Amino acid sequence: MRKSRLLFFLLFPLFVFSQEEAWVYFNAKANEHYFYNNPLKMLSQRALDRRNIQNIALDFKDIPIDQNFISIIKKVSGIQIMAKSKWMNAIHVRGSQNVVNALKKYGFVSKIDFANPVLNQTNKGSKIVVRKNKHLKKEKYISADNETADLQIKMLNGQVLHQQKYTGSGKIIAVLDAGFLGVDKIVPFKRLRDNKQILGVYNFVTRSDAVYTKDSHGTNVLSTMGAYTENSLTGTAIGASYYLFVTEDISAENPVEESLWVEAAEKADSLGVDIINSSLGYTEFDNPAYNHTYEQRNGSTAFISQGAEIAFSRGMLVVVSAGNEGTTKDPYIGAPADAASVIGVGAVNENKNRVSFSSAGPTSDGRIKPEVMALGQNTVVSDENGNNIYLNGSSFSAPLIAGMLACLWQAYPEKTNQEIKEMLLESSDNYNTPDNLYGYGIPDFNLALANKANLKNENLQYFVAYPNPASDVVSVRFPTDFNKGKILFYNVLGQKVLESKVLDLETNFSLEPLSKGLYFYQIESDFISRYGKIIKN
């Protein structure tokens, strides 16, 4: 008996890692014209309305995956289908390298992409490794104070929107996380339950509705947005509605979680969700052969990052924690925070200083990351028992931003997701000189609200550089009471590249010395400082 048990434990790692993870891509879909003519067969009316407001047309990615292809592969011995994606027109499978490669014989298979990139280049097998246990370190201090709970909203000037009754009402947020223990019972979420603001739940890992189980990370995250306990804890979007999706398997770290995330994002899209919040990130897996190298963190390599980018193209905002690896040997943001359209959120302390653990940029292709910052040290959240506790991590700074974005979007429902994102960045305190530790900085949602409101008044169309995009010359119109000042131009690295004096109420500025690209400008006088950005063609 002892020998057989020993043999089992010796062979177990070999068995686990003889099974490879791969994405099998298809080259066609069925009944395209039918679905284009019957869009409600693939998207809800709310999803279609969101697309119409933003002038987003239906396309091939919206067409459901062909179930006949899935049925055929399902019958192949040695193949497990773990997930599917209509956006990618692909399925996630598990099986031996040879069995997976044999799927190429089917004419509807366009390509196979192994999670282990070595297998996509050679016929060599992957290295056998023993899975390491995943440890999540959490710091908890019971009985968090009300003052800090207020601070995390006031740091963003979010209370001003709340005072104007912008609490996210009419907006829907999908929370993609690991588990929501207690949300169905505890007091901080009673308001959400009573008002039926939890619109639906699903566990993509177990293929069931069991989301109020096993883990409380999603509970903590949701509380920063949706919890309400009078004189204790108020979330940033207590008026929003929510879908709760479990995509993280807490028992293992495997690439299939990326595929489940994309499945959940597709579901969110079809339901008409406005904002996806995900305090999840992927760089390392139990099998190191699957790890995302820094070079792969370019926003377009990881399956999850590709999915996040498509989610944005469907008209949703995607808000993701930057990560907590800032003090490690690999301090850079993971996937899907590396995606270009994702709003990556880093962590600051109560003094608005970046916390050292907050993951940094740039992406491997040189883009600024994270985008913005919010309180991520001693953030007040609710635990699974309804107690207010302190937790550290960008996991909690991200939903603070997501909730406030719901409030801002409520105020400007006609805006596109891109416009809302730009409003967020333009209101941030490091907008003029973004960097890869602090991003564009801490947003001021009152400023975001006021700046766009001012644009409705023609008399306040001053201090804006035009045309945009521009060639070699831009103009700025100044009000009659404006006497003297200057305009400064900065490149995307925050370096000043041009400075000119204001000579007249309508002044032309030459951009001839500048190369093509995006620039930020600042108009300064004794009484005013205005910011903007312009593209030189």
Q: List the catalytic residue out of 177, 249, 274, 383.
A: 177
Q: Per-residue pLDDT for 181 more than 60? A: yes
CB 313 within 8 A of CB 365: no
Please, what is the Cα angle at 259 between 255 and 263, to 5 degrees? 160
Q: List the catalytic residue out of 395, 397, 427, 428.
A: 395
Q: List the catalytic residue out of 85, 92, 216, 217.
A: 217
Q: Per-residue pLDDT for 493 more than 90? A: no
- Cβ neighbours for 405, distance < 8 A, ≥ 6 positions apart: 275, 317, 319, 343, 420, 424
Tokens of 70: 């899935």
Residue-level pLDDT at 134: 38
- Domain spanning 141-450, CATH class: alpha beta
> pLDDT digits over 218-251, tens only?
999 999 999 999 888 999 999 999 999 999 999 9
Q: Of 500 and 89, which is predicted with more confidence?
A: 89
> pLDDT digits over 265-286, tens only?
999 999 999 999 999 999 999 9
Tell me whether residue 217 is one of the annotated catalytic residues: yes
> pLDDT digits over 423-474, tens only?
999 999 999 899 999 999 999 998 888 765 444 444 445 566 767 677 777 7
- The helix/strand/coil state of 296 is helix
Residue-level pLDDT at 234: 95
- Mean pLDDT of the 32-43 span: 95
Q: Per-residue pLDDT for 173 more than 50? A: yes
Q: Per-residue pLDDT for 130 more than 70? A: no
Tell me whether residue 177 is one of the annotated catalytic residues: yes
Residue-level pLDDT at 504: 63
- Mean pLDDT of the 336-345 span: 97
345 closest CA partner among 268, 254, 257, 275: 275
Q: Per-residue pLDDT for 8 more than 60? A: no
d(CA 393, CA 140): 12
> pLDDT digits over 43-66, tens only?
999 999 999 999 999 999 999 999
Q: Which one of 16-25, 180-189, 230-239 scores highest in mean pLDDT?
A: 180-189
Q: Per-residue pLDDT for 125 more than 50? A: no
Q: Per-residue pLDDT for 14 more than 80? A: no
Residue 519: pLDDT band with limits 50, 70, 90 = confident
| Extents of the domains making up the chain | 141-450, 459-536
Residue-level pLDDT at 147: 66
Helix (H), strand (E) counts: the chain: 14, 23
pTM (whole model) above 0.95 = no
> pLDDT digits over 396-406, tens only?
999 999 999 99
Residue-level pLDDT at 149: 79
Q: Per-residue pLDDT for 122 more than 90? A: no
- Mean pLDDT of the 176-204 span: 98
Q: Of 39 and 508, which is predicted with more confidence?
A: 39
Residue 128: pLDDT band with limits 50, 70, 90 = very low
Q: Regarding the domain delimited by 459-536, which CATH topology (the fold level of the hierarchy) does it fall under?
A: Immunoglobulin-like (2.60.40)
Mean pLDDT of the chain: 88
HSE-CB of 169 using CA atoms within 13 angstroms: 8
d(CA 531, CA 537): 20
- Mean pLDDT of the 207-217 span: 96
Residue-level pLDDT at 528: 66
